[in-house]
């Protein structure tokens, strides 16, 4: 057998701090949810509860199955951070989008470090537009981060 590191919190102290380990079934076993953040865990748990409640009502014939798959991102949050990337040239635009996408996780992590932020939820579908939209606008892409704040008072 190869001598590759396996996810094991008993032998690797760093593994003990993973929030919601989801292990790969292959060797070497690794945590596929390594990048999961506190907000992600809260969102997943909330969506599981919502899904369970909706399915119960569906089985009682009180709601249609389509209700289970309704996107609710913009109706869930009252506050948003909008990250906008724009460029005139497509190549430059693609490079900037790649850079921003790679840094969104860091932005969310930094937001979570603020005691007043309960959830920072990046909408996984960025909204983009460009010259093909019939406008004279440059290439533009927007990421929306839904924010939920705790009601703790800072002393």
The residue written with tokens 């032998």 in the block is 11
Confidence of residue 36 (pLDDT cuts 50, 70, 90): confident
Domain that holds residue 12: 1-36
Least confidently predicted of 7-11, 36-40, 47-51, 129-133: 129-133
Give the pLDDT confidence score for residue 72 in this predicted structure.
80
Q: Do 14 and 55 fall within a single domain?
A: no
Q: Do 78 and 152 fall within a single domain?
A: yes
Average pLDDT estimate for 30-44: 88
Average pLDDT estimate for 146-151: 90
Q: Which of 50, 48, 45, 68 is nearest to 58 (CA)?
A: 68
Give the pLDDT confidence score for residue 143 in this predicted structure.
93
Domain count, the chain: 3
Q: Do 123 and 145 fall within a single domain?
A: yes
Give the pLDDT confidence score for residue 95 in this predicted structure.
94
Torsion-angle region of 40 (φ positive above 0: left; ψ -120 to 50: alpha; else: beta)? alpha
Q: Do 56 and 121 fall within a single domain?
A: no
Q: What is the average pLDDT value for the chain, to the nearest integer?
A: 87
Q: Do 95 and 56 fall within a single domain?
A: no
């Amino acid at each position: 057998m190869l001598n590759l590191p396996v996810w094991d919190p008993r032998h690797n102290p760093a593994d003990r701090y993973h929030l919601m380990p989801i292990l790969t079934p292959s060797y070497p076993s690794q945590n596929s949810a390594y990048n999961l953040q506190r907000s992600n865990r809260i969102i997943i748990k909330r969506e599981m509860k919502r899904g369970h409640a909706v399915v119960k009502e569906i089985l009682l014939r009180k709601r249609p199955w389509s209700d289970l798959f309704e996107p609710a991102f913009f109706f869930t949050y009252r506050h948003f951070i909008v990250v906008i990337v724009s460029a005139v040239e497509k190549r430059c635009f693609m490079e900037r989008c790649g850079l921003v996408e790679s840094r969104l996780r860091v932005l969310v992590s930094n937001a979570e470090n603020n005691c007043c932020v309960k959830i920072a939820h990046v909408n996984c579908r960025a909204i983009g537009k460009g010259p093909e939209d019939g406008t004279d606008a440059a290439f533009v892409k927007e990421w929306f981060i839904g924010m939920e704040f705790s009601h703790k008072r800072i002393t």
